[in-house]
Structure 1
Amino acid sequence: MSRQNSQAKNFASLPDPARRKGSVILRRAQADIPQSDRYLLDSRENQDFTHTDPWRVLRIQSEFVEGFGALAGIGPAISVFGSARTKRDSARYAQAEKIGSLIAQAGVAVITGGGPGAMEAANKGACEGGGVSIGLGIELPFETGLNEWVDVGINFRYFFARKTMFVKYSQGFIVLPGGYGTLDELFEAVTLVQTEKVTGFPIVLVGTDYWGPLLEWLRNTVAEEGAISVADLDLIKLTDDVNEAVRIVIESAHANGFTAAD
């Protein structure tokens, strides 16, 4: 057998990538379906009862019930956001791992999106630091499932239900370099604090080279136009020092009455 044919045979024997749909795992042709968020937001409604909005309300309700039930007893927690594309041999992966470990050593749980990259690194650090490692996954076309370092994992269909869990059970946010998903989570947190929808908690960006241009744009363009106030920029802290980042969020958690024994 030629090397090319052997490789093709070995590739064919590998399992197809899995998709998660809530608690359900789908493979092969069954995985080629639209996401639940798309069903909800698309105006071209399928009139089958299980695809109508009243039915979806029950499904959405179940996600909140499962999330609240699983996370209600975790005690103080810090959310760590970052790119799923962060390489395991990169300095950013090492930063995320150290952040997770330092948070855990302070007796505080670590919450991530449960995926690969920076999320995996923070979950790994939390495990190695002897803490609770939590992953909140989401149904995506390229979903790979929760990483192996997650102790408590929940898979969500809907982004808004998932983001509610991040905010409700976190006393602070550390944000590593990331893409659209990380930016979405960052600005969700900033908006909720700025509008006083939640009690103020620290939001710390790690990586001055990466985040500095964004903060400059907010200061020199957005604030200059009057779309935000200059004081709103104080809601975000920027550092390259992971020890400082963790210190800021842990001190805030303790100042708000949260301790490892809570």
Structure 2
Amino acid sequence: PGIMEAGNKGAWMKGGPSVGLNIDLPFEQNHNTFIEPDNNLKHRYFFVRKVMFVKYAQGFVVMPGGFGTLDEMFEVLTLVQTKKITPVPIVLVGKEFWAGLKTWIIEVMLERHHNISSEDLDLFFITDDPDEVVQYVNQFYAGDRVEKLSPNFEL
């Protein structure tokens, strides 16, 4: 069981829809048992899978992972930064894991090469505390932002 299964299990336990956006890889296991059969969407290509989850997600909680995790995270950051999608909360969980990347982003991308602006550092939040994750997402959608909460159908 992993973090993706935990999200599906939580939705399933509360009677909500449990959707899987899977991709066929030789080293990956099958989908978890908490994904409703009609909601198990298999993809051959990564870009199609990313379009699907970006289109319907209203926030991203990113756990430590590999190249695929970084690819998905930077895709979302780029789409928000360039205003191609509505801003969404992006939370990176695991201060120790993400600290080196944030330092590199600041020192290399921002200060040395000026590839991003200082405001871009506000596009994501790093924490170790699950309560802070919930608090950040709730604060992100406080006020009139919640009225605009909808899938990114512009994609």
Paired residue type of 1:218: I
Q: Does residue 252 of the first structure (1) align with residue 103 of the second (2)? A: no
User: Aligned-pair RMSD on alpha carbons?
Assistant: 1.9
Aligned to 1:241: 129
Indicate if the aligned counterparts of 1:175 and 1:205 stay in contact, CA closer than 8 A.
yes
2:113 is aligned with 1:228: no
Q: Which has the larger radius of gyration?
A: 1
Match in the other structure for 1:209: 96
Q: Is the alpha carbon distance of 1:249 and 1:153 closer, same or farther for their aligned partners in structure 2, counting shifts above 3 Å?
A: farther
Select the residue among 28, 31, 47 that pairs with 1:160. 47
- Displacement of 1:251: 4.4
Question: TM-score of the superposition, structure 2-length normalised?
Answer: 0.83
Residue 76 (structure 2) pairs with residue 189 (structure 1)? yes
Distance apart, 1:253 and its partner CA = 4.6
Matches of 2:134 and 2:56 in 1, distance apart? 17
User: Aligned ranges for residues 49-88 of structure 1 at < 5 Å?
Assistant: 88=1
Shift, 1:222, TM fit:
1.5
Alignment partner of 1:138 is 2:26: no
Percent of paired sites with the same residue: 51
Q: 1:247 deviation in Å?
A: 3.0
Q: Deviations over 1:101-139 (max 9, x none)?
A: xxxxxxxxxxxxxxxx22112222332344322110011
Superposition misfits of 4+ residues, deviation over 4 angstroms: none
Quick one: which amino acid aligns to residue 119 of structure 1? Answer: M
Judge conservation of contact 1:171–1:249 (CA < 8 Å) in 2.
no
Show the counterpart of 2:3: 118
The residue type equivalent to 2:28 in the other structure is E
Gaps of 5+ in 2: 151-155
Give the residue type in structure 2 aligned to 1:180. Answer: F
For 1:174, the equivalent position in structure 2 comes to: 61
Q: Deviations over 1:7-41 (max 9, x none)?
A: xxxxxxxxxxxxxxxxxxxxxxxxxxxxxxxxxxx
Aligned to 1:121, what secondary structure does the other structure show?
helix
Amino acid corresponding to residue 242 of structure 1 in structure 2: P
| Matching residue's letter, 1:147 | N
* Cα distance in 2 between the residues matched to 1:133 and 1:242: 21
Matched residue type, 2:44: R
The aligned counterpart of 1:147 is: 32
The aligned length equals 144
| Cα pair 1:193 1:201 within 8 Å, conserved | yes
Give the letter aligned to residue 221 of structure 1: V
What do the CA deviations read for 1:30-65 (whole angstroms, capped 9, x no partner)?
xxxxxxxxxxxxxxxxxxxxxxxxxxxxxxxxxxxx
Q: What residue ranges of structure 1 are gaps of 5+ in the alignment?
A: 1-87, 89-116
Instruction: Describe the superposition over 1:117-170 as per-residue Cα deviations: whole angstroms up to 9, x where unpaired.
Output: 221122223323443221100111223221111122100111111101111101
* Counterpart-to-counterpart distance in 2, 1:205 and 1:122: 16
Take 1:256 and 1:147, find their aligned partners in 2: how far apart are those partners? Answer: 31
Shift in Å at residue 184 of structure 1?
Answer: 0.6
